[in-house]
Amino acid sequence: MSIQEIATKPFEGQKPGTSGLRKRVKIFQQEHYTENFVQAIFDAVPLKGATLVIGGDGRYYSPEAVQIILKIAAANGVSKLIIGQNGILSTPAASNVIRKYKANGGILLTASHNPGGPDNDFGIKYNIENGGPAPEGITEKIFQNTKTISSYKVLDAPKVDLSRIGETTYGPLKVDIINSVKDYVEMLKGIFDFPLIRSFLKSRSSDFKVLFDGMHGVTGPYGRAILIEELGLPSSYVQNDTPLPDFGGGHPDPNLTYAHDLVEAVEKNDIAFGAASDGDGDRNMIYGKGAFVTPSDSVAIIADWADVIPYFKGGIKGLARSMPTSKAIDLVAKAKGVEYFEVPTGWKFFGNLMDAGRLSICGEESFGTGSDHIREKDGVWAVVAWLNILAAANKDSNKLIGIREIQKEHYLKYGRSFFSRYDYEEVPSEGAQQMVKHIDSLIAASDFAGKSYTSNSGIEFKIAAAYDFNYTDPIDGSVSKKQGQVITFSDGSRVVWRLSGTGSQGATVRMYVERYVTKDAGEAELARPTAEGLQALIEVALQISNLKQFLGREKPTVIT
């Protein structure tokens, strides 16, 4: 087995975003393309003698990419690779394995919730030793390396059989192929009250049906191991649980639009607790019959009930949300007397706070929920957190307390933040830029605060403030500017506009609307359908931003 140096030339556009390099499979399949990027990682981070974790969501092109990483890692002096069987580890499972085995980092092969298959997306993401995504300093170095690369090193060796669990060698490299699910199940068993959940599910088997939808992504086997094998549910309570390289042709993103299989089945079969996770297992949706839990409410409710979860028995440190996420969790933090943070969109912003011991539970409106047990958001964790809460809530109750009752109780205690996000996908970039400029001019105008706008139904909203969201990280002092445009109103309502950082064609504009109703508004008002509760505010937001004209769109592509 010899090490060879292969001559190459830089490719344009190998700039990793916060979630790594994401491109069409066909782009990754070009000769030298994947090799260049992997070598750029090894040139950016000192990994001689290091242990790295390799895994991903099993999407199309993953096996090929793992073999490429093996060759390049061996030639670059890496000491050991821990690889999920068949190259599979969900994103949260990979974060756990990096931390548990004290690896120096990991390479995750995923494009998250983006569709997979030969004509869709593939991705490569580098995580650091805390188990979280690499910070910008590192991704920028990787990018710079891709612009000057002239050769990469490979070990000339036959392929490794990725299906065979156990230790082997690959030239100078130690390779350990591990069970993709086992460490993750052990971790969750150490966090949640499995005996309590098991006995709750058993005693309620007639009126508390469960359905978990893996969306043909990576979480099927995790869901099965936990819900069926550990918690004793019937095997039919898990669906779309075979991971497929193209996710069965679907869009593996758990929201009301793309997880329609789950929504339909829950409604049709009177399922009390439905849940889904995305392609790589870090997102989640909680949906019971007639009861959709917004991600903003979900994290607030989990935080409120934290003391029934053994992992949080010693108390919680702090709470946090991304800026556009509704302020529901802030109210929980105030009630519990713990500090809370508002960070820019992107899970990496939570990592520093967790490493500093100041953050326990956090979430984002984009269907991300998690805690400091790892450094990625965690879909299956959120599902089991909800089951733990429901089990605790039903402990001394004859009548079933379901998702809806938990929500209702939360609103009666804290009031309700009606929240919705409108996505305008793949709009012309010029129009989006013009809209941003228009809102900038409102932010700059000294007479904007105090102005009033009226909805079609005659409800008046008065501007309280308008600003760009800038963030200074309280731990390392780094500054992130212009992370969204915010307008607040005198009644406490808020609208945010942001350009997506994850779209791949044109621009995607997101508009987030939030209206807070106090607990004294009464049950009927607190229980109103979200769309109804927000209609007037949405009309006013569209008016202020002139969005329809700038984007040339009458309606959003997706409403969540």
Residues annotated catalytic, as ranges? 112
Cα end-to-end distance, the chain, whole Å: 53
Name the residue with tokens 């490794």: 160
Residues 506-545 that bind ligand G6P (CB under 6 A): 510
How many beta carbons lie within 10 A of that of residue 147, not counting itself? 12
Among 35, 278, 365, 372, binds Zn ion (CB under 5 A): 278
Verify binding: residue 500, ligand G6P, rule CB under 6 A: yes
How many beta carbons lie within 10 A of that of residue 352, not counting itself? 19
Which of 436, 402, 403, 407 is CA-nearest to residue 511?
436
Cβ(261)–Cβ(73) under 8 Å? Answer: no
- Which amino acid is it at 11? F
Instruction: Quote the least distance from Cβ 279 to Zn ion, whole Å.
Output: 6
Q: Which residue is nearest to ligand G6P (CB)?
A: 500
Among 29, 67, 502, 543, binds ligand G6P (CB under 6 A): 502
Considering beta carbons, is residue 368 or 533 the nearer one to ligand G6P? 368
Considering beta carbons, is residue 36 or 120 the nearer one to ligand G6P? 120
Residues 305-334 that bind ligand G6P (CB under 6 A): 322
Verify binding: residue 366, ligand G6P, rule CB under 6 A: yes
220: left (phi over 0), alpha (psi -120 to 50) or beta: alpha
Nearest-angstrom CA–CA distance, 368 and 295? 7
Strands 507-517 and 494-499: antiparallel
Which of 63, 62, 101 is CA-nearest to residue 81?
101
Query: Cα-flanking dihedrals φ and ψ of residue 249, to 5°?
Result: 85, 0
Among 35, 193, 280, 376, binds Zn ion (CB under 5 A): 280
Residues 112-131 that bind ligand G6P (CB under 6 A): 112
Among 18, 86, 90, 112, binds Zn ion (CB under 5 A): 112
- Which amino acid is it at 535? Q
Q: Which residues contact 179 (CB under 8 A, 6 or more apart)?
A: 85, 165
Binding segment (CB under 6 A) for ligand G6P, from list 116-124, 156-164, 178-186, 497-505: 497-505
Q: How many residues bind ligand G6P (CB under 6 A)?
A: 13
Binding segment (CB under 6 A) for ligand G6P, from list 182-190, 253-261, 445-453, 496-504: 496-504
Q: Which residue is nearest to Zn ion (CB)?
A: 112
Please report how many Cα atoms fall inside a 13 Å half-sphere around the Cα of residue 408, on the Cβ side: 13
Tokens of 529: 């359908």
Binding mask 234-273 for Zn ion (x = CB under 5 A): ----------------------------------------
Considering beta carbons, is residue 108 or 177 the nearer one to Zn ion? 108
Nearest-angstrom CA–CA distance, 551 and 515? 24
H-type helices in 130-259, by residue range? 136-148, 182-191, 194-203, 220-223
Instruction: Quote the least distance from Cβ 177 to ligand G6P, whole Å.
Output: 27
305 binds, among ligand G6P, Zn ion, none (CB under 5 to 8 A by kind): none
Grouping H, G, I as helix, E, B as strand and the rest as coil, residue 256 is: coil
366 binds, among ligand G6P, Zn ion, none (CB under 5 to 8 A by kind): ligand G6P
280 binds, among ligand G6P, Zn ion, none (CB under 5 to 8 A by kind): Zn ion
Tokens of 392: 């605790």
Verify binding: residue 345, ligand G6P, rule CB under 6 A: yes
Verify binding: residue 344, ligand G6P, rule CB under 6 A: no
Nearest-angstrom CA–CA distance, 28 and 377? 26
Instruction: Quote the least distance from Cβ 442 to ligand G6P, whole Å.
Output: 22
Name the residue with tokens 């229980």: 527
Among 194, 208, 341, 347, binds ligand G6P (CB under 6 A): 347
Grouping H, G, I as helix, E, B as strand and the rest as coil, residue 548 is: helix
Instruction: Quote the least distance from Cβ 215 to Zn ion, whole Å.
Output: 11
Instruction: Quote the least distance from Cβ 235 to ligand G6P, whole Å.
Output: 31
Considering beta carbons, is residue 368 or 402 the nearer one to ligand G6P? 368
388 burial (CB, 10 Å; 0-12 / 13-18 / 19+) is buried
86: left (phi over 0), alpha (psi -120 to 50) or beta: left
Instruction: Quote the least distance from Cβ 320 to ligand G6P, whole Å.
Output: 12
Instruction: Quote the least distance from Cβ 190 to ligand G6P, whole Å.
Output: 25
Which of 126, 105, 107, 133 is CA-nearest to residue 49?
105
Cβ(216)–Cβ(254) under 8 Å? Answer: no
543 binds, among ligand G6P, Zn ion, none (CB under 5 to 8 A by kind): none
Among 43, 282, 364, 423, binds Zn ion (CB under 5 A): 282
- Which amino acid is it at 238? V
Binding segment (CB under 5 A) for Zn ion, from list 33-41, 283-291, 453-461, 495-503: 283-291
Binding segment (CB under 6 A) for ligand G6P, from list 172-180, 340-348, 453-461, 535-543: 340-348
560 binds, among ligand G6P, Zn ion, none (CB under 5 to 8 A by kind): none
Verify binding: residue 346, ligand G6P, rule CB under 6 A: yes
Instruction: Quote the least distance from Cβ 55 to ligand G6P, whole Å.
Output: 17
Write the DSSP symbol of residue 159: P
106: left (phi over 0), alpha (psi -120 to 50) or beta: beta
Nearest-angstrom CA–CA distance, 302 and 100? 25
Considering beta carbons, is residue 112 or 493 the nearer one to ligand G6P? 112
Instruction: Quote the least distance from Cβ 337 to Zn ion, whole Å.
Output: 33
Residues that bind ligand G6P in the complex, under the rule CB under 6 A: 19, 112, 322, 345-347, 364, 366, 368, 500-502, 510
Residues that bind Zn ion in the complex, under the rule CB under 5 A: 112, 278, 280, 282-283
